Amino acid sequence: MKKGFFITFEGGDACGKSTQVKLFKEYVATRTDKDNFVFIREPGGTILGEKIRTLLLNFEDDSPVPKAELFLYLASRVQLFEKVIKPALSAGKIVVADRFYDSTIAYQGFAREIFSAKEILKLHKLLLGNFSPNLTFYLKIKPEIAFKRKKAGEKLDRMEKEDISFHQKVYDGYEYISKKEKKRFVVLDATKSIEEIHNQIILKVEKLLAE
């Protein structure tokens, strides 16, 4: 793997993404080069970003309107990019992110219909230039199947509370991006077992590390 490599994990709500990120982090902790990995999440990853995350996902008093929501995500991303991602990549680290701009295209582009995917990419380029992940693991699962995994009484954040039509549009967004960016995307069948998906991820990363 080349020095300075950016890996992202993507997928709709309840796809099992957070579980796979957690397992991947545990795997990295067993490696002798574990200090060469940096784990981040979006929104969040910085002090400012974590405050924005609370506003976006768990602030009930005055939820952001769609365009405000979009720009809060972008603000968190710019802060994260400048403070963490860019310095880490410049130092030759492997940065692993739980979500990045593909989420914005799927959620704020396709589902919220604030701007088109092309317009959101233009915004991204204005803010971060041509920066893009080197590799993206996409956990693919239809929302009606994914949400059956939710436990009764489980606390949901503001995005998870959206109706099934919203999450279907998110799914459509990821389908669009993954087909458009085939070289970058590794599409994983999220209906398979946790262990099977984890093993696929490890095999892919170990192959890259050996290059």
First-to-final CA distance of the chain? 5
For 54-80, write each residue's pLDDT tens digit: 999 887 778 899 999 999 999 999 999
**185: its two tokens:** 């995307």
Q: 45 in a domain, yes or no? A: no
Q: 55 in a domain, yes or no? A: no
Cβ within 8 Å of residue 183, ≥6 positions away: none
Helix (H) or strand (E) holding 208: helix 194-210
Q: What's the whole-number mean pLDDT along residues 161-168?
A: 94
Query: Cβ atoms within 10 A of the Cβ of 63, count?
Result: 13
- What sign does the CA torsion over 199, 202, 208, 211 have? negative
Total of domains in the chain: 1
Distance of CA 182 to the CA centre of its chain: 17
For 14-30, write each residue's pLDDT tens digit: 999 999 999 999 999 99
Amino acid present at 2 = K
What mean pLDDT is reported for the chain?
94
Helix (H) or strand (E) holding 172: helix 164-180
Q: 75 in a domain, yes or no? A: no
Q: 128 in a domain, yes or no? A: yes
What domain range is 126 assigned to?
Answer: 5-31+95-210
Q: 169 in a domain, yes or no? A: yes
Question: pLDDT confidence of 1, banded at 50, 70, 90?
Answer: low
Cβ within 8 Å of residue 159, ≥6 positions away: 13, 57, 107
Q: What's the whole-number mean pLDDT along residues 109-135?
A: 97
The domain that contains 14 carries what CATH number?
3.40.50.300
Q: 10 in a domain, yes or no? A: yes
Q: 74 in a domain, yes or no? A: no
Nearest to 105 by CA among 121, 91, 93, 82: 121
The percent of residues above 70 in pLDDT, for the chain, comes to 97
Q: 54 in a domain, yes or no? A: no
Verify cis geometry, omega within 30 degrees of 0, for the bond prior to 43: yes
Q: HEC states along 75-128? A: HHHHHHHHHHHHHHHHCCCEEEEECCHHHHHHHHHHHCCCCCHHHHHHHHHHHH
Q: Specify whether the CB–CB gap between 5 and 91 falls below 8 A.
A: no
**Which has the minimum average pLDDT: 41-50, 140-149, 181-190?**
140-149
Helix (H) or strand (E) holding 185: strand 185-189
